[in-house]
Amino acid sequence: MRMIFIGPPGAGKGTQAARLVERYAIPHISTGDMFRAAVAAGTPLGKQADAHMRDGRLVPDEVTIGLVMERIGQDDAQGGFMLDGFPRTVPQAEALDRALSAAGLQLDVVLVLEVPDDLIVDRITGRRSDPETGEIYHVTFNPPPPSIAGRVIQRRDDTEEACRRRLAGFHSQTAPIVPFYEAKGIVRRVDGVGAPDEVTTRITAALTGS
């Protein structure tokens, strides 16, 4: 299974991604992890990426594409892979498509997890964490016990303003790649609202056609 997993921040993609890579025995390839691994390994592309990141610049698409192709060429990705966080723009999607074609590969599915913005804002702004244990709570869905309620904190980037800024970036940059893949007939849209097990069931049905 060769797939791209797309979803807005706070949609629960991390939980579902972990289940999918276990089910299909494929590596979960996120750009952040990929960059860090390439830099740590000191590969030529990793050195190029590191130079850009150290200067505070975005890593050029051609370097990122090269790193992606290098990563999916490794042994653990021969049976498939999940790309998460890339591509983020239509030009990146087009470049990835060309690189995969040149390598004799093609994507099986682009999975799109859909959750309304207002619900995502409620999920994120309601999150609280216990600084002593690292446990995550939610003021509505999973409130902290009264004994620790006074010490839980809200992360700085869990405010409504920050959340809506991230969502706006997703809608303006990443969401437009979905029509690109819809034209290829490989997009599967899944309702991400509900308990994690319910969402997993919907994803499984979408991927198996059942």
Catalytic residues: 13, 88, 127, 155, 166
| Eight-class DSSP state of 60 | P
CA 134 vs CA 46, 72, 143: distances in Å: 32, 33, 14
Q: Tell me the two tokens of residue 180.
A: 């690109």
3-state helix/strand/coil string of 20-32: HHHHHCCCEEEHH
Q: How many beta carbons lie within 10 A of that of residue 70, not counting itself?
A: 16
